[in-house]
Structure 1
Amino acid sequence: MERDLASTGAVRRLRTPGERERRDPPPPCLGHDDPAGKKLGGGSRRRLLPEAHAAPLLLLYLLGLRALVHLSLQQLLQGPAGPRAAYLENITAIGPRTVGSPENEILAVNYLLEQIKAIETESSDVHKISIDIQRPTGSFSIDFLGGFTSYYANITNVVVKLEPRNGAKHAVLSNCHFDSVPNTPGRYIILFLASHGFITQHHWAKSIRAFINLEAAGVGGKELVFQTGPENPWLVEAYVFAAKHPFASVVAQEVFQSGIIPADTDFRIYRDFGNIPGIDLAFIENGYIYHTKYDTSDRILTDSIQRAGDNILGMLKYLATSDKLARSSEYQHGNVVFFYVLGLFVLAYPARVGTIMNYILTAIAILYLGKKILQPRKMAVNYVKELSTAFGFTILSWFTTLLTVLIVALFISLIGRSLSWYTHFYVSVLLYGTASVAKLILVHTLAKRFLYKVSEYLGELYFDVPVVAWSIALTLLTQLGLCSAFVCTMWIVFPLLTKLIIKYVMIYLLGMLIPYLYIMYLAWTIFEMITPIMGRSGSEIPPDVVLAVFIVSYTIILSSYFLHFLYLAKSTKKTLMTLATVFAVTFVLVCSGVFFPYSSDSTSPKPKRIFLQHVSRKFHGLNGNLIRSDSGIWINGFDYTGISHITPHKPELNESIRANCEKDAPLCGFPWIFPVHFLLRKNWYLPAPDVSPTSPVNFKLLSKEQMPWDSTKFTFEVSGPSHISLSIRPHKGTTLSSWSLGDGTPLDNIGGDYFVFYSHGLQAAAWHFWIELKVSEKLSDGMVTLAVAAHYFFGEDQKSLQLYALMERFPDWTFPSGWVCTYDQFVY
């Protein structure tokens, strides 16, 4: 590249800006000084790149990479998927299939049995098919959404075993749900019930040595492997070898397991309660309609179904005949690095190999930098000073860019224009992307003009800065044991090789193709998952802030090896003016509300989700008497905009009916399905008449016993609909020491409440449970408060006339999901 500061010294005659502008630039090149001081690949002195050439070139480069990524993502199978695709269409045609409903427990089960029988008649005599209908009862606790305990009774599992005629000792499990969420035909609801009931109670579970779990966070595209193991690299190797169309990312695995995404899968159940290794796959495209009325079979491409079928079948065949399956526990040794390479194949290698490679690469980077430091003392000192200054200034530019874009995102959120990019993702690029790029360019342009005096010799310095930054990141991630460190490896290997070998800008950009193409591919995967989640991430997290952070991070990564071009550029004035204009126009349009967040477009709907529960609440005192009661329609908007977009269409839904949190009641005194009140603090309560379900909940205190170990044991009985949530709040000075649920150790939720979700199948006996409380001080207001919420997800009790009428008046760009529930609170 241009002459090193270390080899030229820090002192040169300072030229005026006019002198620099009068230099006629030759074709851009990336030459280096040889020991004799002659320029390789160019003239004797470094000349600046014309802005009219450099800016369009870089823009076309990035657009070309984006086009390659888009083409790769469209590489699904061509041709019909065959009759197997009709299974999904037929089972979703049944409609919503909530656990406990006749649609799920009878119609869906009968359909599955019919199809299995049909397959059995077509199968050869080589294999034997066995069918078992399991209806387990059990309980477990997991650290999900801050703390969650489940009790299930008489739910339905359809278990099918395919084995050789002479039997088999070891098996591979393929798992997925056939139930759905209320009010949608969609395919999966994460309740973990069936998986826990099978793996802990079914007699076939003892033979299982590995599993494949099929989930969904979207409705098509390529199914992504986003969890493996734990620490079973042979499973990833099997997937890479056996899957016909592999698509996997260890980055997705580590992001998902970090808890950033508020979701979980049956993978946890098989791993934690069965001690079985496995692979988690999920469709991730078009998560906008996941668990909505639009989540229908016709919206999944048959190519996607065929692709997933080919991959899963290939894996099952390979694993079932693998010698490692019988002794899978013996191959549990460390993690594995795996990632999709340019839409072509998945590369996988042991994490320990990756660690060695990372440290070797770090050493090479140190040698590269050390060569410049190991020079005469004065030159070395000057280089270290300049590099430290440049590194510090780059960090400062990143921080100021992030701060600027966050201010914009916060302003957009405060004026009520959040999610303007939800339907039009390009708006986020034009708003936050242009702001990020413009701020970075502006900061470094000012530095080139006022901080440095010999700008044409600084390109080399600002190439070394990202080498240092990526080397530090590589070391830290490797020390933390994160397999995602391989991304940093790419951003050191290719730039160094390219710089040391190639001299011309065009060829230099081609040499950087692989890391840039991969990071854009990875960014697409992350944005494809994150963007729809922002529409159901709660009312407390500003989605614009989250997306702005991602876009700034992405911009910093993409610009890391482009910053040195700024110091080789003759000017950046036109680029800055263009970016500022695009940002300003987009900002004005967003603030004026031109970009509406939601869409009812039949080809690509992006609805706003709204949950409505017509609830009757009763609050009982210590002596069992009714203190107060009320009823209304409880409304949750499920995203940061709340009901602000709904109010113009339904004036009665406004801030005047904002619900207040009942501080003394468990989970704020409302009938939560999951303990997510910390994510949905903004909700509304519209007064409405009482509801009277035909099968009301019945909650009884059966006994109160003083135990020998100075605790009090309460035993309760509960009966009612198929879904009941129970919240327990011990009073101050009281501790919930044990209970009959889970493993016997209570798992509290955020805020100190204990949350239990109860589900039962078509029929079940009354639910009995007990809790033990220890008191450390004298109490006058009782020991514990319990709240019982009954949810009517199906049948004649599901919706009231008032709820029907309200839901019918919602705009077509919404997805209102509603049901009746009751809430009863007791103090003991």
Structure 2
Amino acid sequence: MEAIGALKQRHFNNAFENDDDPLAIFSPEKLVDAAIRSPFSHFDLNTLDGEGAGKKKHSAFSSKRAIFSAWGLLLGFLTLISMITFQIHYSLPTPIHGGRDPVTGQPQFSEENVRQVVRYMTRDIGYRVVGTEQEQETKTYLIKELSALREQAHIESLRGAHDLPNFDMWVQVGDGSHRFDFMSKVVMKMYTNMTNIIVRLSCGPECDENSILLNAHYDTTLGSPGAADDALGCGVMMEIIRIMSLRPAPKKNSVIFLFNGGEESLQDASHSFITGHELKDKVRAVVNLEACGTSGPEVLFQANSREMIEAYGTVPYPHGTVLANDLFATGLILSDTDFRQFVDHGNLTGLDMAVYKNSYLYHTHLDLDEFMEAGLPQHMGENALALATYLTETANLVNLERTSSVVFFDVFGQFFVSYSWTAALRAHVLIGGLALFTMVTGVSRPAIRGTLSILLSFIVALLLPNFTVVLLQALGTPMQWFSHEWLSVGLFGPVALAGMFSIQYLFHDKRASTAANELSTLSGLQLFFTMTLVGASAVGLASSYVFALFTLSFTAGLMFNHKKAASELKNSSEVTRVEYATYFVITALPTAYFTFVMYSLLDMFIPLTGRIGVDAPVDNIVAVMSGFVAFVFCPPLLAFSHRFGRAVLKRIILGLVAVHIITVLISSAVMYPYDELHPKRVFVQHLRNMTSGESVLYLAHADPGPFYEPYVTEVQTMFKSEAQFRSASANPSDWNAIYPFNQFLESYVLDTTGYIRSQTNNKTIAESNQPLTDLIQDAPKLIAENIQYDPKTGLRRLTVLCTHPNYIWTVASFDTHLASWSLGSSDPFSYSTHYVIRHVGGHVSDSWRVDLEYYASGPDDKLRVELTAMETEGFGRDTERELQGSGEIGVMRQIVKSRPLWATLTYFSILTDTFEL
């Protein structure tokens, strides 16, 4: 019987591998016949006895119908999974516009109330950059609104409402300094007049010893009105205060709300609170509300204690995974939040939650209320309210311990799972042991050949899409996927699949049956994921739960296959084939879960490529990511590719290559990386150099996409000036105003002197040949006081005093070997190096000072300091100083006015000078 079976199998293979017309089956009657035949049953052409030419021809047609039916049904199943998970992933709660809960009678969280706060902060106030008048307006507005909420609660208590919480309020204005390490650079931060607005709700002294902190910042970055980042967080906290102040006081712990006024200036206000406010020692944990996007649910992307992770399990719309926690810890995501200050300086545990989808608009002029998706404030608000309620009513906040040894994830946004790393290891041992058991008992039949083919398929899936990058660059169309996240998968996915299937084609064992090849490959996949699970568990990677899911699914599927196939065998108990239904058993859960996660992966990383630097190989990064998606989306397809022999597999490979080439050519012809809602980030600064007398305009971008031709050439024509290229590496201080982000920029520089002289009505400026900088009044200055030199130690001491009326965000940089300084938050380095000290102050902060002691060759070995200061004008209201000779006449106004729709501008004006102190 076995010999007859082998003969039939060879007949089956030859029938497919010599068939040159796979499309001949598409006649109506054959399609009907194929539809009637069930592909769930194991289709094996070994059953064909080949009696008569007509019967052989009919068998070939039937087999082709079965091939298309089997592939079509499986791919349709995968498509259905993707569609369902897409709908679940992007669903948001229905916005509520006020009123009371019909069951509890308590006030409901209202999205409309949040949006009223967001609209006022973004439309009526605008760009709330630290140090500007708008920052001061925001402070006044928040104090007014919070005072109104306190008065409302007081009125309710007079009307007979009982047990309402105590409503306390503080306004903190502080000075300080801290070391800020970011993007592989070290920045020393100084701040003055940094403002925080603090509200506490409690039941009295018995609650105040242990508090939960909710934090959001009300300032914005340069060039953005900050609706989602972070007026949304402020509005959410305001609404939570309204609700909690009108219901019975918390029974166990108090809740503190921190509206901090300086996050975008590198987390100064949160540092001020956690190191200087009277409530800092009462805080036991923190919930930080942030945003780097404008749509979709917010995600829990940092968590550092078991108790706080368990608290998150009480929210109505959980969305978070330790995958994001591990990914953020790698530093690959170029972003940071106030959470760092609370952890580093307050030794707190907590949760960091942020809106992250559609981050194309993050830190741009389009971060407005109208682009914030409906249901997003409701989602964040109800989750934050649930956390505040649980943490004040039920949770024990005493002796919380920081740990990263917790596995957590949401299950399709419906419920939340968390367990200890110890429990995870036990589960992994059990899952790995079960997989090993199936291998020992013959349920799984991994072979070196099949397992090696899986490993090589994975490697090829990651590497081969990079050849598409070469093709795109040859066509002159880099980053064409940028404005369409799914185009990345469409561009790189087919060639990744073609590479994976090509490996399977090469490793297909001609000496064995197709069924044996299929089972060996499927078993090799199980072994591959089991080995990956063992490796990830050995290094303590909490994200290894994903590999456990794949391993368990393959093990369960192989056990199902063995039982089902064995029950159909009459003369042998040895299973050497894969039942069609097995693929549905294996793929259902891991494909659904990975697809759910994959949406987040694309939403996070594709927009991120627009701001990680001109030298970043973003096409290659996206190519590798897309290859990874192609492999992990449905690994059993590698086994299924063997089901109908090498000839069919060869045609599939050729078809994928053809699809790939057509997709690349069509997208290259019709797609452009940017559009109005997926803009390119352009950085513009107008610099007046007091040392050289130059008045120049810098244009820079933060990704390797098109820039010079579409934009720089247009600006050259506008200002009638030729642009000169300046690399970041050769001119590291060009963009000191936004250090350390300046390391990602390269610039084109235009002389604006001629344009200014041609536009001004001031005859002195128009007709003078002297540098425009000579006419600037009240320029920032550095002076040295209390200078001393000790010849015995070689130390020179001085006090550096900076005055900068009408300027903000000063940066002082110098090279020396410091022995000491007055910045108590950090010691200087023990060797000679480059120092950057950034100072930021609240509105009307026009001076600062620092004491320095450095090794000098003598009393006249002066310290050479370069100072950069930023103009206060131009942040959102487009007002500019019409001078006396500042050189700002119309330059930025013209730049903003002529901005192309596909670009977004981060723009400011600076003055720079060099001082010998």
Same fold by TM-score greater than 0.5: yes
1:18 and 2:14 matched: yes
- State the partner residue of 2:500: 440
SS of residue in 1 equivalent to 2:75: helix
State whether residues 694 and 797 of structure 1, in contact with CA within 8 Å, keep that contact through their aligned partners in structure 2: no
- Picking from 542, 560, 578, the partner of 2:635 is 560
> What is the Cα deviation at residue 92 of structure 1?
1.6
| Aligned-partner Cα distance in 2 for 1:323–1:288 | 38
> What is the Cα deviation at residue 634 of structure 1?
1.0
State whether residues 334 and 352 of structure 1, in contact with CA within 8 Å, keep that contact through their aligned partners in structure 2: no
> What is the Cα deviation at residue 709 of structure 1?
4.5
> What is the Cα deviation at residue 145 of structure 1?
1.5
| Aligned-partner Cα distance in 2 for 1:19–1:224 | 53
- State the partner residue of 1:615: 687
1:542 and 2:617 matched: yes
Q: 1:675 to 1:549 in 2, by over 3 A?
A: same
- Picking from 809, 824, 828, the partner of 2:898 is 809
1:773 and 2:844 matched: no
Q: 1:757 to 1:370 in 2, by over 3 A?
A: farther
**C-alpha offsets along residues 362-411 of structure 1, whole Å, 9 cap, x if unaligned?**
2322232233499xxxxxxxx77xx2233223323333343321122244
1:597 and 2:673 matched: yes
Q: 1:789 to 1:300 in 2, by over 3 A?
A: same
- State the partner residue of 1:139: 177
**C-alpha offsets along residues 516-545 of structure 1, whole Å, 9 cap, x if unaligned?**
111111111111111111111111102211
Q: 1:500 to 1:510 in 2, by over 3 A?
A: closer
Identity over aligned pairs, percent:
22
- State the partner residue of 2:81: 65
| Aligned-partner Cα distance in 1 for 2:637–2:598 | 18
1:657 and 2:723 matched: yes
**C-alpha offsets along residues 133-157 of structure 1, whole Å, 9 cap, x if unaligned?**
1111111113212222211100111
Q: Indicate the larger mover: 481-490 or 462-471.
A: 462-471
Q: Indicate the larger mover: 149-158 or 484-493.
A: 149-158
- Structure 1 residue runs without a partner (length 5+): 34-46, 375-382, 620-627
> What is the Cα deviation at residue 695 of structure 1?
4.6
**C-alpha offsets along residues 107-152 of structure 1, whole Å, 9 cap, x if unaligned?**
2112112211221122245211111111111111132122222111
> What is the Cα deviation at residue 436 of structure 1?
0.8
Tell me which amino acid in the other structure corresponds to 1:177.
H
Q: Indicate the larger mover: 179-188 or 487-496.
A: 179-188
- State the partner residue of 1:178: 218
1:308 and 2:380 matched: yes
- State the partner residue of 2:357: 285
> What is the Cα deviation at residue 237 of structure 1?
0.5
- State the partner residue of 1:367: 437
State whether residues 747 and 754 of structure 1, in contact with CA within 8 Å, keep that contact through their aligned partners in structure 2: no
State whether residues 454 and 528 of structure 2, in contact with CA within 8 Å, keep that contact through their aligned partners in structure 1: no
State whether residues 317 and 379 of structure 2, in contact with CA within 8 Å, keep that contact through their aligned partners in structure 1: yes
- State the partner residue of 1:169: 209
TM-score scaled by length of structure 2: 0.78
> What is the Cα deviation at residue 493 of structure 1?
0.7
Q: Indicate the larger mover: 404-413 or 111-120.
A: 404-413
**C-alpha offsets along residues 726-772 of structure 1, whole Å, 9 cap, x if unaligned?**
22333xxxx334433352323799x9533222100113362111333
1:102 and 2:133 matched: yes
- State the partner residue of 2:454: 394
| Aligned-partner Cα distance in 2 for 1:657–1:725 | 26
SS of residue in 2 equivalent to 1:282: strand
1:115 and 2:122 matched: no
Q: 1:507 to 1:462 in 2, by over 3 A?
A: closer
- State the partner residue of 1:295: 367
- State the partner residue of 1:248: 320
> What is the Cα deviation at residue 217 of structure 1?
0.9
TM-score scaled by length of structure 1: 0.86
| Aligned-partner Cα distance in 2 for 1:14–1:48 | 17
> What is the Cα deviation at residue 500 of structure 1?
0.7
State whether residues 466 and 620 of structure 2, in contact with CA within 8 Å, keep that contact through their aligned partners in structure 1: yes
1:585 and 2:662 matched: yes
> What is the Cα deviation at residue 612 of structure 1?
0.4
State whether residues 150 and 758 of structure 1, in contact with CA within 8 Å, keep that contact through their aligned partners in structure 2: yes
> What is the Cα deviation at residue 443 of structure 1?
2.8
| Aligned-partner Cα distance in 1 for 2:324–2:369 | 26
State whether residues 220 and 284 of structure 1, in contact with CA within 8 Å, keep that contact through their aligned partners in structure 2: yes
Q: Indicate the larger mover: 199-208 or 432-441.
A: 432-441
| Aligned-partner Cα distance in 2 for 1:768–1:745 | 17
> What is the Cα deviation at residue 249 of structure 1?
1.1
> What is the Cα deviation at residue 660 of structure 1?
3.0
| Aligned-partner Cα distance in 2 for 1:540–1:407 | 19
SS of residue in 2 equivalent to 1:136: strand
**C-alpha offsets along residues 206-256 of structure 1, whole Å, 9 cap, x if unaligned?**
111111100101013211110011xx1011111102x12111111011101
> What is the Cα deviation at residue 310 of structure 1?
1.1
1:794 and 2:883 matched: no
| Aligned-partner Cα distance in 2 for 1:643–1:748 | 43
| Aligned-partner Cα distance in 2 for 1:612–1:747 | 33
**C-alpha offsets along residues 485-541 of structure 1, whole Å, 9 cap, x if unaligned?**
000000011221122124442464145311111111111111111111111111110
- State the partner residue of 1:150: 189
- State the partner residue of 2:801: 717
- State the partner residue of 2:258: none
1:346 and 2:416 matched: yes
- State the partner residue of 1:84: 113
| Aligned-partner Cα distance in 2 for 1:49–1:369 | 34
State whether residues 284 and 528 of structure 1, in contact with CA within 8 Å, keep that contact through their aligned partners in structure 2: yes
**C-alpha offsets along residues 648-698 of structure 1, whole Å, 9 cap, x if unaligned?**
644559996343358786x24443412134322x21111122466665211
- State the partner residue of 2:299: 224
Q: Indicate the larger mover: 333-342 or 427-436.
A: 333-342
**What is the total number of aligned residue pairs between the two structures?**
771
1:632 and 2:663 matched: no
- Picking from 508, 521, 524, the partner of 2:599 is 524
Q: Indicate the larger mover: 789-798 or 126-135.
A: 789-798
> What is the Cα deviation at residue 440 of structure 1?
1.4
| Aligned-partner Cα distance in 2 for 1:672–1:266 | 21
Tell me which amino acid in the other structure corresponds to 1:468.
L
RMSD of equivalent CA atoms? 3.4
1:237 and 2:310 matched: yes
Q: Indicate the larger mover: 508-517 or 202-211.
A: 508-517
State whether residues 413 and 544 of structure 1, in contact with CA within 8 Å, keep that contact through their aligned partners in structure 2: no
**C-alpha offsets along residues 325-368 of structure 1, whole Å, 9 cap, x if unaligned?**
1x133x54662111111231111111221122112322322232
- State the partner residue of 1:40: none
SS of residue in 1 equivalent to 2:501: helix
State whether residues 812 and 838 of structure 2, in contact with CA within 8 Å, keep that contact through their aligned partners in structure 1: yes
SS of residue in 2 equivalent to 1:214: strand
More helix per residue: 2
SS of residue in 2 equivalent to 1:804: helix
**C-alpha offsets along residues 435-490 of structure 1, whole Å, 9 cap, x if unaligned?**
111221223224327x6654331111111222222122212221222110000000
- State the partner residue of 2:823: 741
| Aligned-partner Cα distance in 1 for 2:658–2:733 | 47
- Picking from 724, 741, 747, the partner of 1:683 is 747
State whether residues 671 and 789 of structure 1, in contact with CA within 8 Å, keep that contact through their aligned partners in structure 2: yes
Tell me which amino acid in the other structure corresponds to 1:705.
Q
State whether residues 169 and 199 of structure 2, in contact with CA within 8 Å, keep that contact through their aligned partners in structure 1: yes
- State the partner residue of 1:378: none
1:697 and 2:773 matched: no
- State the partner residue of 1:759: 840
1:818 and 2:848 matched: no
> What is the Cα deviation at residue 19 of structure 1?
5.0
